[in-house]
Chains A and B, each alone.
Chain A
């Protein structure tokens, strides 16, 4: 067991807790959401539970940030984005305020609760707000890097954090400025899977059993990433697969397409993402939901 073992939320929020205790400018705000690591802070004056009232939650954080405070807001990703979109766009983003929005429960991480709880469109929804940067946390290592530097990340930022023990690539050196990393490199530069968040794990597992033919690129930052470097890598591979738990229009696909268009890259790309629809199927198991939705490793393998 190494120091990054454990639930990815614990890795992330334990660092947040340490920073919060040290820096009295930090406030933590939530919409009646609970994470284990922050339970002990609930009686602190700088911990604000606004209740099930996301619009007010975001407005309070905006007001705090205007006067130099450093609010960290956490809650369910679908509610922290869709429910208070105008407040995010206008009160946080238009003022370019230093507010960190931490969305928990991305993708199908709560598969039993239906489309209200599926975080499959929130990425592009937030991408549409010009001033907001987005980080999608794929693993414990990246969670550790981003959370340790939370106060150094300037401006309005949306950070998606998954759940479970995602400690499968602790040797990767993530560079937050660069915004992407090859997390599995094959000897041959035949196939590149571009993915993000939870699906990095699936893609890495598949690539590592594929006879050194498949590399995996984790795109974890969506606005100011090194686009030239990203395109350069894409050009090196014969075949590109975009693999995303988010929907076709709501996730990384249109973001990557924007870069491909800008740099005039004409390359055939295979796509495996969630469909553009709200899914009213209820599964108790995320892996099962993903495979039943045609997004599992078996489906990815067919594209190789």
Chain B
């Protein structure tokens, strides 16, 4: 399985780079940091985007949508022809919305800090399903995140899985220090809290398995690298939301095509 995920995540990186080369403006760094997390989520047995009655999912850090689209393309849920047509009609852009990919996108994105609270509503409406969300580590500064976390803990909402993409870079600064994550503050709430390497597919899958079995809601702190797998962009604040040169993208595409 691990070997498969490695191949698939390389293919997703390749697809993502091709989309960027094709003038799709995506945030490279934050997309790459959660790419492996998303790969395991959608290519593991966790969320089957083709199924009607699947688990709900919110990509709270909507700027990482390019990876999500790459997964939809790779799974042939949407063809590149349809994708380009929607793009031409200006119906796809730099954030997700539920209007054109209704079956596959569960929530509009663009504003940060909302998803955990919305997931509570999802979870109460779907008590027998696990509800998943991926949030950024900079995003957890939002007060609404904490309103939601306290509510989940106090009211014993037990079917939410929150993945924190801990890439240590916000849009404009390094956020190496994060009290709530570093000082185990989350462990004091009623959550199953796990820290993992967010690029290690085996750890990710194991952690997702545990979260599904857990009788409490889970918080997975995934240590990741912003720009992971994209050479010059790795851990480089410049490429948090800035594009790298086409020549460099072409080089990266060559690399992933060969591997």
Bound: A66/B98 CA distance, A: 11
Interface segment, one of B34-42, B108-116, B192-200, B247-255 = B108-116
Collect the chain B residues with CB atoms within 8 Å of residue A56's CB: 117, 120, 144, 147-148, 151
A125 to chain B, nearest CB (A): 17
Q: Does A87 contact B (CB under 8 A)?
A: yes
Collect the chain B residues with CB atoms within 8 Å of residue A60's CB: 117-118, 120-121, 124, 151
Q: Which residue of B lies closest to A65 (CB)?
A: B121
Contact with B along A229-243 (1 / 0, CB 8 A): 000000000000000
Interface segment, one of A90-98, A128-136, A155-163, A171-179 = A90-98
Interface centre among A58, A61, A63 (most CB of B within 10 A): A63
Would A55 and B144 be within 8 Å (CB), given that A90-B111, A90-B114 are in contact?
yes
Collect the chain A residues with CB atoms within 8 Å of residue B98's CB: 95
Bound: A161/B145 CA distance, A: 30
Q: Does A53 contact B (CB under 8 A)?
A: yes
Interface residues of A in 35-71 (CB under 8 A from B): 48, 50-51, 53, 55-56, 58-69, 71
Assess whether B114 is in contact with A64, with CB atoms less than 8 Å apart: no
Q: Which residue of A lies closest to B97 (CB)?
A: A94
Assess whether A51 is in contact with B121, with CB atoms less than 8 Å apart: no
Assess whether A67 is in contact with B122, with CB atoms less than 8 Å apart: yes
Residues of A in contact (CB 8 Å), total 26
Assess whether A63 is in contact with B151, with CB atoms less than 8 Å apart: no
Assess whether A67 is in contact with B108, with CB atoms less than 8 Å apart: no
Bound: A7/B124 CA distance, A: 33
Assess whether B151 is in contact with A53, with CB atoms less than 8 Å apart: yes
Collect the chain A residues with CB atoms within 8 Å of residue B185's CB: none
Q: Does A276 contact B (CB under 8 A)?
A: no
Assess whether B108 is in contact with A64, with CB atoms less than 8 Å apart: no
Assess whether B143 is in contact with A50, with CB atoms less than 8 Å apart: no
Please pick, from B117, B121, B123, B124, the residue contacting A55 in the complex, using a CB distance under 8 A: B117
Q: Does B119 contact A (CB under 8 A)?
A: yes
Interface centre among A66, A86, A95 (most CB of B within 10 A): A66
Q: Does B106 contact A (CB under 8 A)?
A: yes
Would A91 and B114 be within 8 Å (CB), given that A56-B120, A56-B147, A59-B120 are in contact?
yes
Interface centre among A59, A66, A68, A71 (most CB of B within 10 A): A59
Would A63 and B120 be within 8 Å (CB), given that A87-B144, A91-B114 are in contact?
yes
Assess whether A51 is in contact with B144, with CB atoms less than 8 Å apart: no
Q: Does B126 contact A (CB under 8 A)?
A: yes
A63 to chain B, nearest CB (A): 2
Collect the chain A residues with CB atoms within 8 Å of residue B111's CB: 86, 90
Assess whether B125 is in contact with A91, with CB atoms less than 8 Å apart: no
Collect the chain B residues with CB atoms within 8 Å of residue A27's CB: 124
Would A62 and B108 be within 8 Å (CB), given that A55-B147, A90-B114 are in contact?
no
Q: Which residue of B lies closest to A97 (CB)?
A: B121
Q: Which residue of B lies closest to A56 (CB)?
A: B147
Collect the chain B residues with CB atoms within 8 Å of residue A65's CB: 121
Bound: A51/B111 CA distance, A: 23
Assess whether B106 is in contact with A66, with CB atoms less than 8 Å apart: yes
Please pick, from A50, A64, A91, the residue contacting B151 in the complex, using a CB distance under 8 A: A50
Q: List 24 A-B contacts (CB under 8 A).
A: A50-B151, A51-B150, A53-B150, A55-B117, A56-B144, A59-B116, A59-B118, A59-B148, A60-B121, A61-B121, A63-B118, A63-B119, A63-B121, A63-B122, A63-B125, A64-B125, A68-B125, A69-B121, A69-B125, A71-B121, A90-B111, A91-B114, A94-B108, A95-B108
**Minimum-distance CB pairs A-B, first 3:** A63-B121, A59-B117, A56-B147
